[in-house]
Protein backbone atom coordinates (compact mmCIF):
# COMPACT_ATOMS: atom_id res chain seq x y z
CA UNK A 1 0.00 0.00 0.00
CA UNK A 2 1.26 3.45 -0.78
CA UNK A 3 0.90 6.32 1.62
CA UNK A 4 -1.85 8.73 0.60
CA UNK A 5 -0.63 12.33 0.87
CA UNK A 6 -2.94 14.74 2.65
CA UNK A 7 -5.25 16.62 0.31
CA UNK A 8 -4.14 20.00 -0.92
CA UNK A 9 -5.73 22.51 -3.24
CA UNK A 10 -4.34 24.89 -5.85
CA UNK A 11 -4.93 28.46 -4.65
CA UNK A 12 -4.27 31.24 -7.16
CA UNK A 13 -3.95 34.86 -6.10
CA UNK A 14 -3.89 37.81 -8.50
CA UNK A 15 -1.68 40.09 -6.44
CA UNK A 16 -2.67 43.33 -8.14
CA UNK A 17 -0.32 45.68 -6.28
CA UNK A 18 2.64 43.59 -7.36
CA UNK A 19 1.37 42.73 -10.83
CA UNK A 20 1.85 39.03 -10.12
CA UNK A 21 -0.29 35.95 -10.30
CA UNK A 22 0.85 33.29 -7.87
CA UNK A 23 -0.36 29.77 -7.27
CA UNK A 24 0.53 27.53 -4.37
CA UNK A 25 -0.79 24.22 -3.14
CA UNK A 26 -2.43 24.74 0.23
CA UNK A 27 -3.25 21.81 2.49
CA UNK A 28 -6.90 21.17 3.21
CA UNK A 29 -7.89 23.14 6.30
CA UNK A 30 -4.76 25.30 6.38
CA UNK A 31 -5.01 29.10 6.52
CA UNK A 32 -4.28 30.46 3.05
CA UNK A 33 -2.40 33.58 4.23
CA UNK A 34 -0.14 31.52 6.48
CA UNK A 35 0.53 28.92 3.85
CA UNK A 36 1.50 31.52 1.23
CA UNK A 37 3.86 33.13 3.73
CA UNK A 38 5.50 29.79 4.45
CA UNK A 39 5.92 29.30 0.71
CA UNK A 40 7.65 32.65 0.28
CA UNK A 41 4.80 35.00 -0.62
CA UNK A 42 3.89 37.27 2.29
CA UNK A 43 0.61 38.83 1.24
CA UNK A 44 -0.73 42.00 2.90
CA UNK A 45 -2.14 41.53 6.40
CA UNK A 46 -2.45 43.35 9.66
CA UNK A 47 -4.47 41.78 12.48
CA UNK A 48 -4.51 38.10 11.40
CA UNK A 49 -7.75 37.72 13.30
CA UNK A 50 -10.35 38.35 10.64
CA UNK A 51 -11.09 41.84 11.93
CA UNK A 52 -9.22 44.54 10.02
CA UNK A 53 -9.87 43.69 6.30
CA UNK A 54 -6.23 44.35 5.31
CA UNK A 55 -6.06 40.85 3.81
CA UNK A 56 -9.38 41.06 1.97
CA UNK A 57 -9.71 39.55 -1.49
CA UNK A 58 -12.44 39.13 -4.06
CA UNK A 59 -13.25 35.61 -5.13
CA UNK A 60 -13.03 35.08 -8.89
CA UNK A 61 -13.58 31.34 -8.89
CA UNK A 62 -14.23 28.74 -6.21
CA UNK A 63 -15.43 29.15 -2.66
CA UNK A 64 -13.86 30.60 0.41
CA UNK A 65 -14.37 29.32 3.95
CA UNK A 66 -15.76 32.34 5.78
CA UNK A 67 -16.65 30.96 9.17
CA UNK A 68 -14.05 33.03 11.01
CA UNK A 69 -14.26 36.25 8.98
CA UNK A 70 -15.82 38.29 11.76
CA UNK A 71 -14.72 41.64 10.38
CA UNK A 72 -16.58 41.29 7.11
CA UNK A 73 -20.24 42.21 6.80
CA UNK A 74 -22.70 39.70 5.44
CA UNK A 75 -23.30 41.98 2.47
CA UNK A 76 -19.62 41.98 1.51
CA UNK A 77 -19.40 38.23 1.93
CA UNK A 78 -22.35 37.90 -0.40
CA UNK A 79 -20.58 40.16 -2.87
CA UNK A 80 -17.73 37.66 -2.95
CA UNK A 81 -15.18 39.22 -0.64
CA UNK A 82 -13.18 37.14 1.79
CA UNK A 83 -10.44 37.51 4.39
CA UNK A 84 -7.36 35.43 3.65
CA UNK A 85 -5.95 35.40 7.18
CA UNK A 86 -8.90 33.34 8.40
CA UNK A 87 -9.76 31.55 5.16
CA UNK A 88 -8.93 27.86 5.03
CA UNK A 89 -8.42 25.96 1.84
CA UNK A 90 -11.41 23.76 1.07
CA UNK A 91 -11.01 23.42 -2.70
CA UNK A 92 -9.42 25.07 -5.74
CA UNK A 93 -9.72 28.85 -5.50
CA UNK A 94 -8.89 31.93 -7.55
CA UNK A 95 -8.98 35.37 -5.89
CA UNK A 96 -7.66 38.86 -6.47
CA UNK A 97 -6.34 41.31 -3.92
CA UNK A 98 -8.35 44.47 -3.29
CA UNK A 99 -7.39 48.05 -3.97
CA UNK A 100 -5.94 49.65 -0.91
CA UNK A 101 -8.72 50.03 1.67
CA UNK A 102 -11.38 49.01 -0.88
CA UNK A 103 -13.18 46.71 1.52
CA UNK A 104 -12.73 49.01 4.50
CA UNK A 105 -14.27 51.86 2.53
CA UNK A 106 -17.17 49.74 1.27
CA UNK A 107 -17.92 48.57 4.73
CA UNK A 108 -17.46 51.68 6.81
CA UNK A 109 -17.74 54.51 4.32
CA UNK A 110 -14.97 56.51 2.80
CA UNK A 111 -14.65 59.15 5.52
CA UNK A 112 -15.47 57.26 8.64
CA UNK A 113 -12.67 57.18 11.14
CA UNK A 114 -10.30 59.24 9.05
CA UNK A 115 -10.72 62.49 10.93
CA UNK A 116 -12.79 64.11 8.22
CA UNK A 117 -16.18 63.64 9.83
CA UNK A 118 -16.95 65.49 13.00
CA UNK A 119 -20.18 63.76 13.91
CA UNK A 120 -22.81 66.08 15.33
CA UNK A 121 -20.64 69.18 15.36
CA UNK A 122 -21.85 72.02 13.15
CA UNK A 123 -19.02 73.50 11.15
CA UNK A 124 -19.35 77.27 11.52
CA UNK A 125 -16.51 78.34 9.30
CA UNK A 126 -17.68 77.78 5.74
Q: How far apart are CA 110 and CA 27, in angstroms?
A: 37
Select the span of 4-12, 53-61, 93-101, 102-110 touching ligand FES (CB under 6 A): 53-61
Q: Does residue 54 touch ligand FES according to CB under 6 A?
A: yes
Three-state secondary structure call for residue 38: helix
Q: Rule CB under 6 A: is residue 48 a binding residue for ligand FES?
A: yes
Q: Which residue of the chain is nearest ligand FES when measured via CB?
A: 85
Residue 37 φ then ψ, to 5°: -60, -50
CA 19 remoteness from chain centre: 17
Using CB under 6 A, list all residues that contact ligand FES. Answer: 45-48, 50-55, 71, 83, 85
Amino acid sequence: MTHTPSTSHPITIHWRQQGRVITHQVNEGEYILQSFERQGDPLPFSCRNGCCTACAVRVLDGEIDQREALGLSRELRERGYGLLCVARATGPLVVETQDEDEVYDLQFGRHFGRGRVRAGLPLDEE
